[in-house]
């Protein structure tokens, strides 16, 4: 059972219940209204009759009373069954709807003097329900009119029957229109779902270039645009992973090739009596390649721990100034070898903050290593330490790592901390990498409740800035 059919069915059932409820409410209200209306009309008729008769009696015109009774019977028959008047001398003036003497005698007996106005309901000898109204006269007489309850009920039933037919017609039309509209709405709702399903299947089959074309401004349009963004991000992620695999292959193959080559060289030279200097050089290269492999594998392991939320941070109070100075000292020989300069600026001799020392060393090492990689020969890498952050206040320290390298395009600056991402720019030939170093840096800063961002301009270098709470 499809969504469209279910939607149409549920809406139709709901509409049916609503129409039945509304129809029943209208039916009851109309029935009560008609009953009230006919009852009020009957009372009004009787009061009008009594008023005319009273006016006639004031001028002692009993003939007018008789004519009024005739007019009442003629005009309101068959609703009025009988009407009569008894004067102070007990003379009865009486007329009835039927010419049956037995019935006339039954009703004529009811024309009698009374003390107060009243109304009575009774069943006639013929089985007809009668509602009688009587009003006394000032001169010891009375006016009496008998109305047929059955006739009034017939008129009410006729009005209800007419109204019921109209309600049925409107209900049928409403149900048909409701089903059609529900079906159309179901179609409009399921059509984009089918488009999404088809597009998702294409993506699952490997077509990451697929996009949904739509100009809709509603929630469906927002869903389409979100889906397109997701497809674009999947394509980018797929491209990043391909690049990552290529970089991993390079990162593994290069040091392993160096290790393998120098191991073979050392083995061959053992019997040839190679000098200690040559052996030491080969071992140093093997050591460097091993460190490079170790760092690479550690980065992958750290990333896996971060993803699994298992990377532990063990904070202690430490001097961030000494930590940065120690790392800069380690990089100085490499910078000298590559004809680059590392400058450390610190206006405060000691700044104590609560950090995980090894993790902070790791992230600063990654940032300096990244700056070294992108800085040209005879270039500068500058580290700046501030005892307070201009943007975040006195509760934070701020560190800048600046290079005068090739820079990052503005549209890619916000993406450099994503996993596997590597800056792409045809203008410059950029060094290869795995795209993991900055991701790990950002995550470690986050675990320390700090913030990191980058400011860059193509051709004019990049500055990485991060803040850490004290």
Question: What CA–CA distance (Å, rounded) separates 424 from 440?
Answer: 20
Whole-number pLDDT of residue 458: 85
Specify whether the CB–CB gap between 80 and 72 falls below 8 A.
yes
In terms of average pLDDT, the best of 145-149, 178-182, 426-430 is 145-149
What pLDDT score does 280 carry?
A: 81
Position 319 scores a pLDDT of 94
What is the Cα–Cα distance from 336 to 382, expressed in whole angstroms? 14
Distances (CA, A) of 248 to 293, 295, 339, 373, 443: 10, 12, 28, 17, 21
Residues of the chain with CATH 3.30.450: 3-156
- Per-residue pLDDT for 345 more than 60? yes
Q: What is the mean pLDDT of the chain?
A: 84
Contact 447, 360 (CB under 8 A): no
CATH placement of domain 316-469: 3.30.565.10
- For 277, other C-beta atoms within 10 Å of its C-beta total 8
Any idea which fold 3-156 has? Beta-Lactamase (3.30.450)
- Is it the case that residue 189 has pLDDT exceeding 80? no
Please name the residue that has the structure tokens 């077509």.
207
Q: Each residue of 24-55: pLDDT tens digit? A: 888 889 889 988 999 999 999 998 888 888 88
Higher pLDDT, 8 or 375: 375
Q: Which two tokens mark 157?
A: 């039933």
Query: Comparing C-alpha atoms, which of 467, 405, 409, 470 is closest to residue 442?
Result: 467
Instruction: Give the Å distances, CA to CA, from 178 to 7, 183, 236, 391.
Output: 12, 8, 46, 60
Residue 463 to residues 197, 293, 416, 450, Cα–Cα distance (Å): 44, 27, 13, 17
∠ CA 176-179-185, nearest 5°, is 140
DSSP, collapsed to helix, strand or coil, labels residue 206 as coil
pLDDT at position 56: 83
Can you state the angle between helices 3-58 and 62-76, rounded to 10 degrees? 160
Phi and psi of 382, rounded to 5°?
-115, 130
Res 398 pLDDT > 80:
yes
Residue 185's Cβ-count burial label (10 Å; 0-12, 13-18, 19+) is: middle
pLDDT over 70 at 244, yes or no: no
pLDDT at 426: 46
pLDDT value at 247 more than 70:
no
- pLDDT for res 434: 58
Check whether 186 has a pLDDT greater than 70: yes
The more confidently predicted of residues 304 and 74 is 74
439, pLDDT greater than 90:
no
pLDDT at 61 over 70: yes
Most confident of 206-220, 288-302, 367-381: 367-381
Of the chain, the percentage scoring pLDDT greater than 90 comes to: 21
**Contact predicate 427/345, CB 8 Å:** no
Residue 441 has pLDDT above 70, yes or no: yes
Mean pLDDT in residue range 247-258: 73
Q: Boundaries of CATH 1.10.287.130 in the chain?
A: 219-307
**Three-state DSSP class for residue 343:** strand
pLDDT at 293: 82
Query: Does pLDDT of 208 surpass 80?
Result: no
The per-residue pLDDT for 445 is 93
Q: What is the assigned CATH class of domain 219-307?
A: mainly alpha
Contact 38, 155 (CB under 8 A): yes
Whether 238 has a pLDDT exceeding 50, the answer reads: yes
Res. 435: pLDDT tops 90 = no
Q: What is the pLDDT of residue 449?
A: 92
- What is the reported pLDDT for 355? 93
pLDDT score of 361: 92
Under a CB-based contact definition with an 8 Å cutoff, are residues 397 and 467 in contact? yes
- Omega before residue 78 within 30° of 0, cis: yes
Whether 97 contacts 82, CB under 8 Å:
yes
Buried b / exposed e across 115-125, counting CB within 10 Å, b at 16+?
eeeeeeeeebe
Q: Flag whether pLDDT at 399 surpasses 90.
A: yes
Mean pLDDT of 8-37: 87
Residue 82 near residue 94, CB atoms below 8 Å:
yes
Whole-model pTM: value is 0.49
Local confidence band at 180 (pLDDT 50, 70, 90 cut-offs): confident
Q: Where in the chain is the domain with CATH 3.30.565.10?
A: 316-469
The residues pairing with 464 across neighbouring beta strands, listed in sequence order, are: 401, 454
CA atoms lying within 13 Å on the CB side of residue 387: 7
In the chain, what percentage of residues exceed pLDDT 70?
91
User: Above 70 in pLDDT, residue 75?
Assistant: yes
Q: What is the pLDDT of residues 257-298, one digit of tens each?
A: 878 887 887 777 766 666 777 778 878 888 878 877 887 788
Whole-number pLDDT of residue 420: 65
Predicted local confidence at residue 240, as pLDDT: 67
pLDDT attached to residue 192: 81
- Compute the radius of gyration of the chain from its Cα atoms: 51
């Amino acid at each position: 059972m499809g969504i469209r059919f279910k939607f149409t069915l549920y809406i139709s059932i709901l509409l049916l219940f609503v129409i039945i409820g509304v129809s029943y409410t209208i039916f009851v209200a109309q029935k009560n209204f008609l009953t009230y209306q006919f009852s009020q009309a009957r009372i009004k008729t009787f009061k009008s009759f009594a008023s005319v008769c009273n006016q006639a009696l004031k001028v002692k015109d009993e003939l007018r009373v008789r004519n009024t009774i005739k007019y009442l019977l003629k005009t309101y028959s068959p609703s009025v069954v009988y009407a009569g008047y008894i004067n102070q001398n007990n003379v009865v003036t009486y007329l009835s709807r039927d010419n049956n003497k037995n019935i006339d005698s039954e009703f004529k007996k009811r024309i009698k003097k009374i003390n107060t106005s009243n109304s009575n309901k009774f069943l006639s000898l013929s089985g007809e329900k009668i509602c009688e109204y009587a009003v006394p006269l000032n001169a010891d007489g009375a006016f009496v009119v008998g109305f047929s309850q059955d006739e009034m009920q017939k008129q009410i039933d006729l009005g209800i029957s007419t109204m019921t037919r109209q309600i049925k017609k409107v209900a049928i039309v409403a149900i048909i229109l409701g089903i059609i509209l529900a079906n159309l709405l179901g179609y409009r709702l399921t059509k984009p779902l089918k488009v999404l399903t088809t597009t998702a299947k294409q993506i699952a089959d490997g077509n990451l270039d697929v996009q949904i074309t739509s100009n809709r401004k509603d929630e469906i349009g927002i869903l389409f645009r979100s889906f397109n963004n997701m497809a674009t991000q999947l394509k980018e992620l797929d491209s990043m992973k391909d690049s990552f695999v290529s970089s991993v292959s390079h990162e593994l193959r290069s040091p392993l090739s160096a290790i393998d080559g120098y191991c073979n060289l050392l083995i061959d030279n053992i019997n040839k009596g190679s000098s200690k200097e040559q052996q030491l050089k080969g071992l140093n290269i093997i050591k460097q390649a091993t460190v490079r492999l170790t760092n690479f594998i550690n980065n992958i392991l750290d990333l896996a721990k971060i993803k699994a939320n298992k990377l532990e941070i063990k904070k202690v109070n430490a001097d961030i100034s000494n930590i940065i100075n120690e790392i800069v000292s380690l990089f100085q020989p490499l910078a000298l070898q590559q004809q680059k300069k590392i400058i450390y600026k610190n206006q405060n001799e000691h700044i104590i903050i609560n950090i995980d020392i090894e993790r902070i060393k790791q992230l600063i090492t990654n940032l300096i290593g990244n700056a070294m990689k992108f800085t040209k020969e005879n270039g500068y890498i500058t580290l700046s330490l501030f005892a307070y952050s201009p943007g975040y206040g006195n509760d934070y320290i701020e560190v800048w790592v600046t290079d005068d390298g090739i820079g990052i395009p503005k549209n890619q600056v916000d993406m450099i901390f994503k996993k596997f991402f590597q800056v792409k720019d045809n203008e410059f030939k950029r060094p290869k990498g795995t795209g993991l170093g900055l991701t790990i840096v950002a995550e470690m800063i986050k675990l320390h409740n700090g913030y990191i961002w980058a400011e860059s301009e193509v051709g004019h270098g990049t500055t990485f800035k991060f803040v850490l709470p004290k």
